[in-house]
Structure 1
Amino acid sequence: MRPLRYAINVTLDGCVHHEAGVAPDDESMHYWVTEMQRADALLFGRVTYEMMEAAWRRPTTGGWPDWMQEWEVPFAETIDRAKKHVVSSTLSGVDWNAELLPGDLAEAVARLKQQPGKGLFVGGVTLPLALADRGLIDEYLFLVQPVLAGHGPTLLAGLRERIALELVDRHEFRSGAIAVRYRPARATE
């Protein structure tokens, strides 16, 4: 069974808006490339899919845009070529090496997890909340930014039930950010 890993940048006060944390640098981008390579496919909701496509899809010219730093290119190439599954009730079609995930969310994601492979990687805000509420996330990876945002969407806001987690790994960055990896705690009998 492929594990489903939820990964996101988050500020110390829980904000998950993509511009609220520390600006990406070569170290954090390398970290995200390594993490994405642990997955066979990415799972996005519509908003995250459209945001990522706008930023990281290779232009039709074939070259990367001038604004992109050299150390961002491996991330762009990794996400550009990755297989993607998109959950949306409003999109009629997708491209960018993507397919819409039809039917009931829990059943469709369970089918994806049953396929052989390294794993699935999910990002965003709304879709991970729905997946966490259904007990479908096998690993949580938070890159905690040394910033207090003071506003914005927060991590898994509205979660129906408490999920106890066990720390399985941590990595400190030069920027002061810390990546922490958790798995749902096993129930003790």
Structure 2
Amino acid sequence: MTQPLRYAINVSLDGCVHHEAGLPPDAESMAFWTDELRRSDTLLYGRVTYELMQGAWRRPASGQWPDWMDPSEVAFAEVMDPMRRVVASTTLDAVDWNAELLHGDLVDAVRRLKGQPGRGISLGGVRLPVALAATGLIDEYTFVVHPVIAGRGPRLLDGVELTLELIERREFRSGVTVQRYRPTS
């Protein structure tokens, strides 16, 4: 039995996925993302996403979360900070923050990772999911769609052809919708 690989990302109505596109996080969306993290015990990122998340959500050396964080952001950070991370990178020589580098062929390494015991693997980022979606390794896709036209930035799964089956849909008060899918083949 393999553990599921789940890809989840914020996306604008026009398919942009850069981290600045979308509505500012609110308590409802942060609670969703905190619960989403709890579904897995491993995070799989590429270098860019790893560094972005580390800069935003790693517990500071002081041990105290910054004053700018509201309670929903602290709750998210408390779940994310201790999680295991696996980083796919050809440019990093070392990682920390409970992280290890993925070695060898990407597809083979992710297959081995999925074969390890666990509740699931949470996949983030833009480029890494494109490489994995094309191989059929992603078991679930969650798109958190913001009612915003970004007009710029990387596109969601650009160049990948998939047919997906809707398995869940939720709406937030902000107008954001969560759409969860499974590949049909």
Q: TM-score, normalised by structure 2?
A: 0.98
Residue deviations 1:137-177 (CA, integer Å, cap 9, x gap): 00000000011111111101122xx2110000111101000
3-state SS in 2 of match to 1:169 = strand
Letter in 1 for 2:133: A
3-state SS in 1 of match to 2:72 = helix
Letter in 2 for 1:109: V
Letter in 1 for 2:93: S
3-state SS in 1 of match to 2:73 = helix
Q: Which residue does 1:112 correspond to in 2? A: 113
Q: Give 1:69 deviation, angstroms.
A: 1.3
Q: Which residue does 2:171 correspond to in 1? A: 172
Q: What does 1:142-161 align with in structure 2 at a 5 Å threshold?
A: 142-159=143-160
Identity of aligned residues (%): 62
Q: Which residue does 1:37 correspond to in 2? A: 38
Provide the rounded CA distance (Å) in 1 between the counterparts of 2:132 and 2:3. Answer: 15
3-state SS in 1 of match to 2:81 = helix
Q: Give 1:111 deviation, angstroms.
A: 0.5
Q: What does 1:4-19 align with in structure 2 at a 5 Å threshold?
A: 4-19=5-20
> Number of matched residues?
184
Q: CA RMSD in A?
A: 0.7
Moved more, 50-59 or 115-124: 115-124
Q: Which residue does 1:27 correspond to in 2? A: 28
3-state SS in 2 of match to 1:167 = strand
3-state SS in 2 of match to 1:6 = strand
Which residues of structure 1 form unaligned runs of 5+?
Answer: none
3-state SS in 2 of match to 1:81 = coil
Provide the rounded CA distance (Å) in 2 between the counterparts of 1:128 and 1:26. Answer: 27
Runs of 4+ with >2 A deviation: none
Which residues of structure 2 form unaligned runs of 5+?
Answer: none
Residue deviations 1:100-137 (CA, integer Å, cap 9, x gap): 01110000000011112211000110100011011110
Provide the rounded CA distance (Å) in 1 between the counterparts of 2:118 and 2:78. Answer: 20
3-state SS in 2 of match to 1:71 = helix
Provide the rounded CA distance (Å) in 1 between the counterparts of 2:151 and 2:76. Answer: 29
Q: Which residue does 1:184 correspond to in 2? A: 183
